[in-house]
Amino acid sequence: MKKAFIFDLDGVIVDTAKYHFKAWQKLADSLGISFSEEQNEQLKGVSRVQSLEKILEWGNKTISEEKFSQLMSEKNTEYLTYISEMDASEILPDVPRILEYLILEKQAIALGSASKNARAILEKVQLYDKFNTIVDGTNVSKAKPDPEVFLLGAKGLGISPENCIVFEDSVAGIKAANIANMISIGIGNQEVLHEADYIFKDFTEIKEEFINQLVTAKKV
Write out the catalytic residue numbers.
8, 10
Q: Are 216 and 179 in contact (CB under 8 A)?
A: no
Distance CA 124, CA 14 (A): 11
Q: How far is CA 163 from CA 2, 84, 181, 207, 211, in A?
A: 8, 35, 9, 20, 13
Angle between helices 65-83 and 17-30 (to 10 degrees): 140
Rounded CA-CA distance 130/127 in Å is 5
Given a contact cutoff of 8 angstroms between Cβ atoms, the answer to whether 136 and 116 are in contact is yes
Beta bridge partners of 96: none
Task: Give the span between the Cα atoms of 165 and 219, in whole angstroms.
Answer: 9
Closest-CA residue to 4 (of 203, 199, 180, 195): 180
Neighbours of 208 (CB within 10 A): 13
Among the listed residues 217, 220, 202, the one whose alpha carbon sits nearest the alpha carbon of residue 4: 217
